[in-house]
Structure 1
Amino acid sequence: MYEDSYLTLHVSKDMNTSEVNLIIYAKQVDFIFVIIGYIVNPLGLLFNGILIFLITRKTPRSLKSFSILLLNFALCDFLSSLAGMLALQKTVFSGWSLTYIFHGICGRVSPYFCYFLHTFVCHCFAHSQWILMISFIYRYYILEKICPRPSKVAKICMLAYIPSFLFLGFYMFDVGNPSELKILVYDYHPQYYYNVLDVWGDLVISGNKNVWSIYTLGAIIYMTIPCFPIYAIIIYVRYKTLNILNSSGRILMSETTRQSHRQLMKALTIQAIVPMFWLTAASFYLLLLFQIVKGVIIENMLFRIMEVMPMITPLISMYFVRPYRLEVKSWFVPVPLLKPVIVSSMLLRQTTSNY
């Protein structure tokens, strides 16, 4: 209420009531999504921090190789949650310029640092796609052949990181001049009076001046197009793997081992559904770009949707990977020092000796 009165007091001389109400609404929406960002991202940090601890300290020998892939997920998600919490960007298209308003504390450093955080988050999400595909191929591979050494899996992950690393480097070269981008935002969105310091303060704005430049267009293509062939490969490999697990005579393995493989495949399958948040955000992104939809809710929603992914993914791994689930469960449900069977056995021997 105080903020609304303050806003009306300082700008009512230059604006009509509907304009003032629109700005109040925009500021309220921004505030709500900033709060959401400050809830989702710290949870992502917490859950991924726990998963990293479990992977490094509680992984049994049988899962050492697969844990390298899980560690890749956890590190990517941890760092993207950290960068997202520092940035808290809002996507604002200004003509063919891709501009971001940053509400996070990165603005205290510089607009260029905020832009780096933005590109870093995007490159983490892109790398996660490749690791997800490799995880499915890994589950299929170990059914047919010998489980690879952890060092070999680590080398594969490093090779898979090269495209995302190059994306990060090239995309960083296309950062626009913050002063020029501010003018574009002011000109293309006059209804919000972003240039009024008494209303918005000194906004931190960064981004790309032209979405059709070779670097920005290449970044957009890399962030959107590869997901389709990647998902096609995932669906195919999942089908082949489940066929092997469901045909009992093809490969000799105990039922316990078979169930373990099925559990891990179920975890990967659910994990493959999580990036639907990304596809949803990408769809809204394109709708915003071509001005099919507009509004402060969608502008704020894009990255908040994507930030849900690194919060959910570690929970899936902790639940479906049995050693991790049992470890976490033991933190909340104390394990008795003596198992009931042992206690019963001791009581029986004591009773027998008395006779």
Structure 2
Amino acid sequence: MFILFHLFISACGIILNTLLIYAVMTKTPENMNKYTLIILNVSFTDLFLCFLDIFVIQRLVSCGTAVVYISMGLCSRFSSSFCFLMYTIQMHLYMHSIWMLFASYAYRYYVLVKSEVTRTQIQSFLMLLYIPSLVQMSNVLVEHGDETKAAEILTKKYPAINTSDLVLTTNSTIFTFSVMYVIVHMIGNWIIIRGIIIIFTEQNFNKNQYDLIICSIKKDAFAFC
């Protein structure tokens, strides 16, 4: 059931993001060309994220202060280290997708209250937002234990589990800089970014509401004249 759930969700994500990419590349109006940089960035990120999810299908098992990763996807045909590499890339894409959500709202807010931006400025902004996710991936790659260590931790917590057929990796403790960076980045940033998005949304709504009132006043004044 766990595997089927991942396959279903990821397949839906692949189909929908492929359709979105096609629509953006063929149906975008001329005046929205700059914004497509962000939309395509999000779409391709989510598309690769879904492919990797099918490839990895990772299950996390908490074992005290350690975390054991059980890889159940196609990567299990290769090696545990390869699965962990793919999972690390997947998680960094997930965080980049969240940052792109922030970029989308930030762009719309800036254009609404400030002025138009150039494609170069947008590209520079997106590259800047990619740095935290890249740092996350770089840190995590050096912080995982081998399959033997993972099996030892898992059987100590759950003695009845047969680990001989499982593809395992582990973080033997979460209390390292690399792992804590991931935890703070993935949980803390999600809360902060969602809060910022709510602020952007409210301010955009207030701005649009103000513009509608002004337009209505001008329309009434013109009709009166």
Fold agreement, TM-score > 0.5: yes
User: Which SS does the other structure have where 2:162 is aligned?
Assistant: coil
CA distance in 2, matches of 1:249, 1:89: 49
Which amino acid is the alignment partner of residue 67 of structure 2?
L
User: Which SS does the other structure have where 2:144 is aligned?
Assistant: coil
- The alpha carbon displacement at 1:163 in A equals 0.9
- 1:1-355 matched pairs, under 5 angstroms: 32-191=1-160, 193-195=161-163, 197=164, 202-248=165-211
Instruction: Identify unmatched segments of 5+ residues in structure 2.
Output: 217-225
CA contact (8 A) 2:149 2:170 kept: no
User: Which SS does the other structure have where 1:65 is aligned?
Assistant: coil
Which amino acid is the alignment partner of residue 242 of structure 1?
F
| Alpha-carbon spacing, 1:251–1:171, altered in 2? closer, same or farther (3 Å) | farther
- The alpha carbon displacement at 1:144 in A equals 2.7
Which amino acid is the alignment partner of residue 105 of structure 2?
F
- Deviations 1:134-168 (CA, angstroms, capped at 9, x unpaired): 21121122123332222321221111101111111
Give the number of the structure whose alpha-carbon radius of gyration is greater: 1
CA contact (8 A) 2:56 2:71 kept: yes
Which amino acid is the alignment partner of residue 89 of structure 2?
F
- Deviations 1:92-145 (CA, angstroms, capped at 9, x unpaired): 122221111111010111111111122222212211222212211211221233
Aligned residues: percent identity?
25
CA distance in 1, matches of 2:154, 2:80: 15
CA contact (8 A) 1:244 1:251 kept: no
CA distance in 2, matches of 1:56, 1:152: 21
CA distance in 1, matches of 2:209, 2:74: 52
- The alpha carbon displacement at 1:251 in A equals 7.2
CA distance in 1, matches of 2:213, 2:84: 52
RMSD of aligned C-alpha atoms? 1.9
CA distance in 2, matches of 1:80, 1:60: 27
- The alpha carbon displacement at 1:250 in A equals 7.5
User: Which SS does the other structure have where 1:248 is aligned?
Assistant: helix
Which amino acid is the alignment partner of residue 71 of structure 2?
F
Which amino acid is the alignment partner of residue 212 of structure 1?
F
CA distance in 1, matches of 2:72, 2:214: 55
Structure 1 partner of 2:222 = none
Q: Which runs of 4+ in 1 moved over 6 A?
A: 249-253
Instruction: Identify unmatched segments of 5+ residues in structure 1.
Output: 1-31, 254-355
Paired positions, count: 216
| Alpha-carbon spacing, 1:166–1:244, altered in 2? closer, same or farther (3 Å) | same
User: Which SS does the other structure have where 1:211 is aligned?
Assistant: coil
